[in-house]
Structure 1
Amino acid sequence: MKTLVIGPSWVGDMMMSQSLYRTIKANNPEAEIDVMAPAWCRPLLDRMPEVTQALAMPLGHGALELGERRRLGIALRKEAYQQAFVLPNSFKSALVPFFAAIPKRTGWRGEMRYGLLNDLRTLDKAAFPLMVQRYAALGYPAAQIKSAADLPPILWPKLSVNQTEITTVKESFALTGERPLIGFCPGAEFGPAKRWPHYHYASLAAMLIEAGYQIVLFGSNKDHTAGEDIRQLLPPDAVDHCLNIAGKTTLDQAVVLIAACQAVVSNDSGLMHVAAALDKPLVALYGPSSPDFTPPLSHQARVIRLISGYHKIRKGDAAEGYHQSLIDIQPTQVFSELQQLLVTSKERECGF
């Protein structure tokens, strides 16, 4: 069966969508899955063995451009897709499969998409509390899956990186020393309210450097300053063991270098989901956002959160915009969780 997926536009959502692709392939090993998503997603999609082809969505996030979507859909008719899955909930995201005349078009109801989708599912949020459950459920007939309890074990996201790639990319960033790497992902898409304070990251970095580790700071261009804030608070003899590569890597290089890390400490962010999909020992730090909806999908992940519920907050309490619930998470607690994860990971490697 030839399948088109209209994919999400965020790193974390794209990672969780892999559970749908894995479900489709598990149910039909001969399925060919093409995913249409923003071009920046390609490095992630190329590392998902279930995906046959990544198709670039040329339209910007939020743009309707009805005529262009119609042209895109008509151009896809030659591919003779048998089914489409539309993962975003917007009206416009369902237009391309409709114009492509794909016989079966599956998705949650979202923004009143009657007619555009003909395998339309009505979402009971309480029945499917996790985003990954909502994605995976679309891979089964609607009558078969009424709630998350009906789902077979979900196939979690899993990215593929080989040792040759790791060696090459580490060399290109001069990360060839003897110190094992610990990755920090101190950024967050919606600003400082979702970030663990930079001064806490600096304290944790100092502890880990003292213990013999090399710290690598990941993120986009806009996270580079946060990385420098961390480095400036380190003791002078520790700074050389904390490398800020936020904004200096491609997404693919970041994936490879995260795979090279012994463990990762991250805010609730897209790179947190990448680390989980690479099965890295991971400490995930949550504040106002909730792990009850988008937790890291890994048995090697530990979540630290001091409040409950979801809080729609864009700016925190402190002058720097941090949220008090994240300020209250102490570096010593994170260090302790990280040590336990590293011991457990080492035992797993040794077969204990």
Structure 2
Amino acid sequence: MKILLVKLSSLGDVVHALPVVQDIAAALPGAQIDWVVEKSFAPLLARCAGVHRVIPCRIRHWRKSPLAAVTRGEWTAFKALLRQQSYDAVIDLQGLTKSALVARLARLAPGGKRYALANQTDGSGYEAPTRWVADVAIEIAPRTGAVQRSRELAARALGYTPLPAPDFGLKRPPAQAERAQSATEKIASNTVALVHGTSRADKEWPLAHWVALGQRLIAAGYPVALAHGSAKELATSQAIAQALGAARATVWPLLTLDALTDQLAHCAGVIGVDSGVSHIAVALDLPHVQIYNFDTAWRTGPDPRTQSRQVSVFAQPTPSVDAVWQAWLGCSTGLVQPVAAR
């Protein structure tokens, strides 16, 4: 059976959909699973066990200059690549107009069908064309978490029962890990990465909180590493590192998504705000605390019923340093409990 998954962006959304691959592989041995995704996220899918072919696109870029000659050329090449294979099932996991367009362009095998969401779930994006394009539109309960939404949609489309717990498929063999780490500075195995960067300012945690948390980690014997993906995030990482002292706090260089994933995989754990990089930490099954200023952890955060080494901390206007620290102690000792500091 040949299956095409369509989940184009963003980074966190792509990570949330990864367990679909392992669910399908377990239920339908021998199935060929291809995936269409934004080119910038393709390296993550390339390392996901069970993905046969990653089909990159640049829809975010193309829509900025849709009539440009280079856009037309790249779009034509993408369509040709997409249609090289015919599929028994095309599953639009995203539910947007752009993903519906990709699903419509994909070629079906005789008897093949397109599947998509029939409705919007709480807190998610949804646009009607995904339902219009589908041969079968599947309704999902409104209050369904992001990981569960994709897993349930695919399972109901293909007629199987998902695995008991989500498996993101990002585990790597030791040899690959050594090759990957040789490309960047080797880090101590007890390093804790702090992920402060996010695309939304209202998801950020105060700089003073990061410094205070870093001081607690260093006092407990954990070196601290700081990642960044922009000039603004670099400035924040440098400010935190300067306050903590260069001997125990390291600012990583700007890393590709693949290299950043490798570096995180070598850490003892990660503490971060609600962001794509934090969701990668969950996918790597690292001890992880995810910080929320909004009561949305139920939708995008780790599920305490099935994920034993991660926890979300929520409070308004923002969680305290002590709440995050206590959550980290639980993660690092395996005594994880959901935390809501109000």
Whether 1:120 and 2:129 are equivalent positions in the alignment is no
Deviation digits for residues 253-277 of structure 1 (CA, Å, limit 9, x no counterpart): 1111111111111111111111111
Paired AA for residue 122 in structure 1: E
Correspondence for 1:184: 194
Whether 1:227 and 2:233 are equivalent positions in the alignment is no
Q: Name the CA distance, whole Å, in 2 between partners of 1:72 and 1:162.
A: 32
Q: 1:203 to 1:175 in 2, by over 3 A?
A: farther
Secondary structure of 2:18's aligned partner: helix
1:214 to 218, 223, 230: 223
Secondary structure of 1:78's aligned partner: coil
Q: 1:60 to 1:22 in 2, by over 3 A?
A: same
Q: CA deviation at 1:170?
A: 4.3
Deviation digits for residues 31-83 of structure 1 (CA, Å, limit 9, x no counterpart): 11111111111221122112111111132268395988687446533312221
Q: Name the CA distance, whole Å, in 2 between partners of 1:169 and 1:289.
A: 36
Structure 2: gaps (5+ residues): 119-125, 336-342
Q: 1:201 to 1:25 in 2, by over 3 A?
A: same
Alignment of 1:63-82 (within 5 A): 63=63, 72-73=78-79, 76-82=82-88
Q: CA deviation at 1:341?
A: 2.5
Q: Name the CA distance, whole Å, in 1 between partners of 2:225 and 2:203.
A: 20
Whether 1:338 and 2:332 are equivalent positions in the alignment is no
Correspondence for 1:139: 154
Q: CA deviation at 1:130?
A: 0.8
Q: CA deviation at 1:185?
A: 0.6
Contact 2:114–2:133 (Cα < 8 Å) also in 1: yes
Correspondence for 1:276: 282
Correspondence for 1:314: none
Deviation digits for residues 88-139 of structure 1 (CA, Å, limit 9, x no counterpart): 222232123323342311111342225421112234413xx21112101122
Correspondence for 2:59: 59
Q: 1:152 to 1:279 in 2, by over 3 A?
A: closer
Secondary structure of 1:135's aligned partner: helix
Whether 1:295 and 2:285 are equivalent positions in the alignment is no
Q: CA deviation at 1:278?
A: 1.0
Secondary structure of 1:140's aligned partner: helix
1:156 to 139, 146, 167: 167
Paired AA for residue 226 in structure 1: T
Correspondence for 2:10: 10
Q: Name the CA distance, whole Å, in 1 between partners of 2:207 and 2:178.
A: 29
Q: Name the CA distance, whole Å, in 2 between partners of 1:204 and 1:281.
A: 16
2:127 to 105, 111, 117: 111
Whether 1:195 and 2:174 are equivalent positions in the alignment is no
In terms of fraction of residues, the more strand-rich structure is: 2
Paired AA for residue 156 in structure 1: D
Q: 1:158 to 1:152 in 2, by over 3 A?
A: closer
Secondary structure of 2:114's aligned partner: strand
Alignment of 1:17-96 (within 5 A): 17-60=17-60, 63=63, 72-73=78-79, 76-96=82-102
Q: 1:2 to 1:263 in 2, by over 3 A?
A: same
Q: 1:144 to 1:181 in 2, by over 3 A?
A: same
Q: CA deviation at 1:339?
A: 2.6
Q: CA deviation at 1:154?
A: 4.4
Paired AA for residue 251 in structure 1: L
Q: 1:141 to 1:248 in 2, by over 3 A?
A: closer
Structure 1: gaps (5+ residues): 308-324, 346-352
1:260 to 252, 255, 266: 266
Q: Name the CA distance, whole Å, in 1 between partners of 2:158 and 2:175.
A: 46
Identity of aligned residues (%): 24
Paired AA for residue 309 in structure 2: Q
Secondary structure of 1:240's aligned partner: coil
Q: Name the CA distance, whole Å, in 1 between partners of 2:139 and 2:187.
A: 52
Q: 1:98 to 1:189 in 2, by over 3 A?
A: same
Q: Name the CA distance, whole Å, in 1 between partners of 2:61 and 2:27.
A: 32
Secondary structure of 2:300's aligned partner: coil
Deviation digits for residues 224-272 of structure 1 (CA, Å, limit 9, x no counterpart): 12211212322xxx32221112x61111111111111111111111111
